[in-house]
With several copies, the nearest count.
Chain A
Amino acid sequence: MNVELCRAWMVRFAELIDADAGRLTALDAAIGDGDHGVNMQRGMRAAVAALDESPPETPGRVLIATGRALVAKTGGAAGPLYGTAFRRAGKALADTESASAAELGAALVAMLGGIQELGQAAVGDKTMVDALTPAVSAFEAAAGDGLGAAVEAAARAAAEGTAGTVPLQARKGRASYLGERSIGHEDPGAASTALLLRALAEVTAAS
Chain B
Amino acid sequence: MKKLINAPADVVAEALVGMAAAHPELAVDHENRVISRAGGPTPGKVGVVSGGGSGHEPLHGGFVGYGMLDAAAPGEVFTSPVPDQILAATSAANGGAGVLHLVKNYTGDVLNFRMAAELAEDDDIEVATVVINDDVAVEDSTYTAGRRGVGATVFAEKIAGAAAEQGTDLASVARVASDVNDRTRSFGVALTPCTVPTAGQPGFELGADEVELGIGIHGEPGRTRGKLAPARELVAHALDAIHADMPLSGNVVVMLNGMGATPLVELYVAYSELASWLDGHGVTVARSLVGNYITSLDMAGFSVTVGMFPEELLELWDAPVQTPALRWGR
**Touch A–B, Cβ below 8 Å:** yes
Cβ-closest chain A residue relative to B9: A38
Contact of B198 with A75 in the complex, beta carbons under 8 Å: no
Q: Is A49 an interface residue (CB 8 A)?
A: no
Contact of A176 with B220 in the complex, beta carbons under 8 Å: no
**Chain B nearest CB: distance from A175 CB in Å?**
8
Q: Is B19 an interface residue (CB 8 A)?
A: no
A33 touches which of B83, B137, B138, B219 (Cβ 8 Å)? B219
Measured CA separation A169–B84 after assembly (Å): 33
Contact of A176 with B199 in the complex, beta carbons under 8 Å: no
Q: Is A76 an interface residue (CB 8 A)?
A: yes
A29 touches which of B106, B114, B199 (Cβ 8 Å)? B199
Q: Is A192 an interface residue (CB 8 A)?
A: no
Q: Is A25 an interface residue (CB 8 A)?
A: yes
Interface centre among A29, A42, A78, A177 (most CB of B within 10 A): A177
Contact of B76 with A119 in the complex, beta carbons under 8 Å: no
Q: Is B221 an interface residue (CB 8 A)?
A: yes
Interface residues of B, dominant DSSP: loop
Contact of A174 with B198 in the complex, beta carbons under 8 Å: no
Contact of B107 with A173 in the complex, beta carbons under 8 Å: yes
- Give the contact-size bracket for chain A: 35 or more
Measured CA separation A80–B81 after assembly (Å): 11
A23-46 residues with Cβ-Cβ distance < 8 A to B are: 25-26, 29-35, 38-39, 42
Measured CA separation A72–B86 after assembly (Å): 11
Measured CA separation A178–B219 after assembly (Å): 12
Contact of B76 with A176 in the complex, beta carbons under 8 Å: no
Q: Is A172 an interface residue (CB 8 A)?
A: yes
Query: Contacting chain A: which of B143-151, B153-161, B234-242?
Result: B143-151
Cβ-closest chain A residue relative to B214: A177
**Chain B nearest CB: distance from A184 CB in Å?**
12
Q: Is A71 an interface residue (CB 8 A)?
A: yes
Contact of A35 with B78 in the complex, beta carbons under 8 Å: yes
Measured CA separation A181–B224 after assembly (Å): 8
Cβ-closest chain A residue relative to B225: A181
Contact of A75 with B221 in the complex, beta carbons under 8 Å: no
Contact of A75 with B108 in the complex, beta carbons under 8 Å: yes
Cβ-closest chain B residue relative to A32: B220
5 tightest Cβ-Cβ pairs between the two chains A and B: A80-B111, A33-B218, A77-B108, A76-B108, A77-B107
List residues of chain A with CB under 8 Å of any chain B CB.
Answer: 25-26, 29-35, 38-39, 42, 71-81, 118-119, 169, 171-174, 176-179, 181
